[in-house]
């Protein structure tokens, strides 16, 4: 942050007026929700793992630099992203690629953890809008209005792939429940009312339609993901602890 502030101070007045430091964070910083409720921008931070605590600390640092030094920062906290070009370790591309290869589809615990799914294109639109329209010092939650359990997500992927290959063995036969990871929060869900009201943003993708588009993309773009699977990531779920 000090380096960023030093750079900011080298700018002329006009450039400083246009400058924004946009910090892109996550809903993990708020901890875990119970059966009801949504995360708002005023939800107290309560990270439950060292991983999410590191993200929360970065939010606090950005906010502190803005409040103490007037550094022109904005913070956004998003829900789970999905879509084209996502690294194959993440749940949705992992399940798609394992299913295409006839490999096990690993799900942590009983698959009951709930996430709010946000298509990457909707997230990108929101970030551009925030950078252009938001006031300095503001924070915005960005969610996709699509809550599903991990098991429901995997079942949907299986159903969509089955529809592409009617008559084959149902892909859900490949589902395998594995030991849960430490500090695995039960539910995340975003209230995006502020960005909708202040800036006019809304998600354009319903989850099922976005998931179908994502499956099509990974099915048609093996040249992109195969080298990653071959050389960088072998398909194992990460984050299971020591």
Q: pLDDT tens-digit profile of 162-212?
A: 999 887 889 999 999 999 988 899 999 999 999 999 999 999 999 999 999
Count the Cβ atoms, other than its own, within 10 Å of residue 36. 7
Indicate the helix (H) or strand (E) that contains 96.
helix 91-101
The neighbouring-strand residues paired with 82 are 119
* pLDDT value, residue 242: 43
Return d(Cα 96, Cα 162) in angstroms, integer: 12
- The pLDDT value given to residue 239: 56
Q: Which residues of 152-179 are buried (b: 16+ CB within 10 A; e: fewer)?
A: ebbbbbbebbbeeeeeeeebbebbeeee
**Strand ranges inside the chain, DSSP E:** 21-26, 73-78, 80-82, 105-108, 114-119, 139-142, 147-149, 175-178
- Listed as ranges, residues in the chain with pLDDT below 50 are 241-242
Element of type H or E holding 81: strand 80-82
Could you list the active site residues?
27-28, 51
State the pLDDT at residue 155.
98
Residue 202 has phi, psi (to 5 degrees) of -145, 150
What token pair was written down for 207? Answer: 């989850």
pTM attached to this predicted model: 0.93
Spatial distance between the Cα atoms of 101 and 174, rounded to a whole number of angstroms: 11
DSSP string, 185-222: -SB--B--HHHHHHH-------HHHHHHHHHHHHHH-H
- pLDDT at 38 (0 to 100): 98
> Helix crossing, 91-101 with 150-164: angle to 10°?
40
Give the percent of the chain with pLDDT over 90: 86
Residue 21 · residue 73 · CB < 8 Å: yes
pLDDT score, position 237 = 59
Q: What is the pLDDT of residue 22?
A: 97
Q: Which structure tokens are listed for 68?
A: 């103490």
Say which residues have a Cβ less than 8 Å from residue 133's Cβ, sequence separation at least 6. Answer: 199
Residue-range domains of the chain with CATH: 2-231 (3.40.50.720)
């Amino acid at each position: 942050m000090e380096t960023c502030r030093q750079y900011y101070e080298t700018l002329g007045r006009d450039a400083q007026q246009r400058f924004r430091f946009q910090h892109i964070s996550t809903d993990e910083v708020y901890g875990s929700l119970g059966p009801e409720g949504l995360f708002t921008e005023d939800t107290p931070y309560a990270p439950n793992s060292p991983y999410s605590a590191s993200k929360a600390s970065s939010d606090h640092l950005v906010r502190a630099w803005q409040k103490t030094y007037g550094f022109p920062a904005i913070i956004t906290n998003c829900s789970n992203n999905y879509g084209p070009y996502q690294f194959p370790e993440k749940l949705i591309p992992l399940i798609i690629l394992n299913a295409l290869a006839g490999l096990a589809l690993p799900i942590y615990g009983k698959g009951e953890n709930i996430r709010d799914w946000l298509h990457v294109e909707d997230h990108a639109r929101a970030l551009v809008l925030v950078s252009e329209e938001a006031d300095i010092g503001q924070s915005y939650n960005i969610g996709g209005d699509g809550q599903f359990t991990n098991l429901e997500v995997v079942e949907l992927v299986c159903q969509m792939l089955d529809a592409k290959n009617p008559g084959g063995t149902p892909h859900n036969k490949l589902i395998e429940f594995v030991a849960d990871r430490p500090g695995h929060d039960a539910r995340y869900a975003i209230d995006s009312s502020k960005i909708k009201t202040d800036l006019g943003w809304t998600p354009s993708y319903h989850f099922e339609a976005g998931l179908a588009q994502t499956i099509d993309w990974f099915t048609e773009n093996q040249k992109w993901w195969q080298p990653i699977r071959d050389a960088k990531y072998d398909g194992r779920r990460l984050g299971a602890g020591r």
